[in-house]
Structure formats: structure tokens, C-alpha cells
Amino acid sequence: MTTGEVEAMVEAFIRGAERAEQAGFDGIELHGAHGYILAQFLSPDINHRTDRYGGSLENRQRLIFEIIEGIRKRCRPDFMIGVRLSPERFGMKLDEVVQVADKLMREELIEFLDMSMWDVFKMPEDGGTPGKTLLSYFTELDRKGCRLGVAGKLRTPAELQRAMDAGVDWVMLGRGAIIHHDYPNKLKANPNFEPLDVPVTSDHLRAEGLGETFIEYMKIWKGFVKDNDGFIDNELILNS
């Protein structure tokens, strides 16, 4: 992308937020994780640009902050902005993601920060400080008025509570909500609710409201879908 094309992309993000506001939404989330375009700019492994959007962390994070600035100027004052980040994979560096998260919250630029941890309770892959969990790098930041949420292998009510007890403001369900579309209602009705574990059948996913295209996509996720014919991820299960 040329510098001009990056500038056009900034404008496209801002216009997207404006359209969301016009459609009646109260806010948006910028996806800066999982290898999407904002994450690619943040990653020193992927971003080899030599203009003002590459090189230093200040430059690589510029895209996100320019988009936020534009949304703030052109949407109503109470329009909410959130950002999703992940501290690992796709070339993300923990210390840099901590710096980005700190700036977003300390300068009160966003209403919520969505941290995708892959596994909320894991230790940092790069070693980090001995005995310090990956999550703690973010719960210890000064949030000002920003809310901190986490996602990553949260399945059981006990795991949800453990994450809340670690100091986050809310938790997010991925696989658990796919398997149980009404997970929050089940938990509200029964604090001891025990969600199903993977693999689950295609029929179960259909009963939970997933369309055929979504089910086919979920089959890409290793060990998630067990078809009624005894296959998981197109691999035959051999019973001894």
C-alpha cells in the first residue's frame, strides 16, 4: 500500500464508524488482533514500511490512533469506541502491546479494551517476569474510565469467575457461546451450569442456530466439530 492508500484506509474506517452511528449503533470496536490489518501494522515482524506508518512503535501504532481521532471528531461525543488487541501471535510483542494498551486507557481515548489472550490464564510465551501471568500485565494498568475485558478459553462458570477475580471488568465467550447460544441465560438460571466441551456434533450446532456455512467454517477449528459419521476435522476417529 502507498502512503496515500493507507490514508484512504483511515478514512474508510472513520466512515464505517459514521455509518454505524447513522444506523443506530452506540459504538464500534476496532479489531487490532488476530492478524487483521490493524494488527499487521502493529507487528514489527509484518510491517516493514519506511514511511510514517512503519519502523518505530510510534509509527506502527499511528494507524489506530488516527482512526480513533477521526471517529471522535466526526461522531457524537457519547459514541463508544473499543479496541481489540492480542499480546501474542501474528508478530505481536508483549511489551509493545502493553504500551499501546496503556496509552489507549491512560489518555482516555476509548471506552473499552478487549484483550484476546488465546488463554486467559497462561504465562507469557516470551518468558516475561517470572511468576507474572499474561493477564496481569494489563490488569495492573491505570484504566482511568476504560473498561477491560478478556477472552481466551473461558468455558466454565468457575473459569469466568476466576477471570473476574483477577481484576477484569467483563469476560467474553467465544467457543462457549457458539456451543450454547444462550449461555448467559443458562448461567443465570443455574450457577452450577456445566457447558458442553468440544468436540460437538454438527447437529448440535444446527440446534444452536448455526447455519451450514458457519458449521463448515467451524470444522476448520481443530477438534471442534464431531460429525455424526465419526469424523473430527476430516480425520477418522478410530476406536480401539
Spatial distance between the Cα atoms of 197 and 176, rounded to a whole number of angstroms: 8
Of 173, 29, 39, give the one whose Cα is nearest residue 97: 39
Q: What are phi and psi of 216, to 5 degrees?
A: -60, -40
Residue of 36, 137, 183, 217 marked catalytic: 36
In angstroms, the Cα distances linking 185 to 179, 188, 189, 205 are: 13, 5, 6, 18
Spatial distance between the Cα atoms of 97 and 138, rounded to a whole number of angstroms: 9
Which element (helix H / strand E) includes 40? Answer: helix 37-42
Instruction: Judge whether 183 counts as a catalytic residue.
Output: no
Active-site residue set = 36
